[in-house]
Amino acid sequence: MRILTGLQPSGKLHVGNYFGAMEPAVRLQDEGEAFYFIANYHAMTTVKNPDELRAYTRELAIDFLAAGLDPERSTFFLQSSVPEVNELAWILSNVCPVSQLEKAHSYKDKIAHGFSPQHGLFAYPVLMAADILLYDTNCVPVGKDQKQHLEITRDLAGKINEAYGEGTLVIPEPMIREATGVVPGLDGQKMSKSYNNTLPLFADPAEVKKLIMKKLVTDATPLEDPKPKEGSTLLALYRLMAKDEDVAAMEADYDRGGIGYGDFKKRLLEAYLERFEPMRLRREELLADPGYVDQVLAKGAEKARAAAAPVIDRVRKAVGLA
């Protein structure tokens, strides 16, 4: 079984990325052949400054390794190391109805958040389909926000197979953990690098404290009253990070009343610090050894190119390019 997922170097990684995609990806490393990549072409849809793109790319590589990606067990590479992905995207473009892209939630969300409606952003799901299909991927661990993109991927692969022969492309299955769903950001909307509402995966504890205490939204329920659990961003984040018994205690305290959000926020901070401490330490080691990261990505690029070559060959022949 081939497993593949990608993360965009579009800003600092956040706990939504971790629980939605990275943690499942790390766990799946032993279940099959894992291909994990840094989606730097995709990031160009929102990151326009080259130095920034380079810096985010490097940081993401370090952070994913710190989160448990093991380059001995996985192929870890930059999307741009295998430019054939653009060729496959072009081929897919020719079976993709514009109306399908017009319906994409993520495109509409980005536009609603003020990003200009460029073709790259619009065509994002086609490139994403190519990312997946270029490696004969079977399983794609992603967050719930990617569900529709995965449906588009499956649909485009089906159209290619119908037009050019069964078996031209492998149809992938999404792996979406319903429990994680869409991790809410500090403002209650989907946590997103480009929405400036994140709880970063790696940040100075003082900064995290400030974000939780000052920016995390809560409602105006008086201290003595029971707090609504439904729709509580604070509780949703706590459920992801804290131990089961601590979650049960906090839920009971929500129901009981008499405890304010300030206290709950302190508990969230503690859970966050404890949960990510081992990863923070590993990250410090990686930061001190930049040559190692380059070496990992160079080796990953080679392995990824070798895996993509027979697929793009097969597709070229099928569609009449070779």
- Judged by the rule CB under 6 A, the positions of this chain that interact with ligand ATP are 7-8, 10, 16-17, 20-21, 46, 142-143, 145-146, 180, 182-183, 190-194
Query: What single letter denotes the amino acid at residue 60?
Result: L
Q: Which is nearer to ligand ATP, 107 or 261 (CB)?
A: 107
Question: Does 143 count as an annotated binding residue?
Answer: yes
In this structure, the chain runs to a length of 322
Q: Which is nearer to ligand ATP, 21 or 82 (CB)?
A: 21
Tokens of 262: 């300030």
Handedness of CA 10, 13, 18, 19 (dihedral sign): negative
Tokens of 241: 């990070």
Question: Does 146 count as an annotated binding residue?
Answer: no
Q: Smallest distance, Å, CB 269 to ligand ATP? A: 19
Q: Around Cβ 260, how many Cβ atoms within 10 Å? A: 14
Contact, 65 vs 296, CB < 8 A?
A: yes
Buried-exposed string 219-255: b where 16+ CB fall within 10 A, e elsewhere = eeeeeeeebeeeebbbbbbbbbbbeeebbeebbebbe
Handedness of CA 40, 41, 47, 48 (dihedral sign): positive
Q: Smallest distance, Å, CB 259 to ligand ATP? A: 27
Q: Smallest distance, Å, CB 17 to ligand ATP? A: 4
Active-site residue (options: 48, 110, 229, 317): 110
Q: Smallest distance, Å, CB 216 to ligand ATP? A: 14
Is residue 190 annotated as part of the catalytic site, yes or no? Answer: yes
Residue nearest to ligand ATP (CB): 20
Question: Does 295 count as an annotated binding residue?
Answer: no
Is residue 265 annotated as part of the catalytic site, yes or no? Answer: no
Query: What single letter denotes the amino acid at residue 260?
Result: G
Active-site residue (options: 48, 103, 193, 215): 193
Active-site residue (options: 103, 147, 190, 227): 190
How many Å apart are CA 191 and CA 17, to the nearest integer? 9
Q: Which is nearer to ligand ATP, 6 or 300 (CB)?
A: 6
Residue numbers belonging to the annotated binding site for ATP: 8-10, 16-17, 143-145, 183, 190-194
Binding residues, as ranges, are 8-10, 16-17, 131, 143-145, 183, 190-194
Which sequence positions are flagged as catalytic? 110, 190, 193
> Which residues participate in the annotated binding site for L-tryptophan?
131
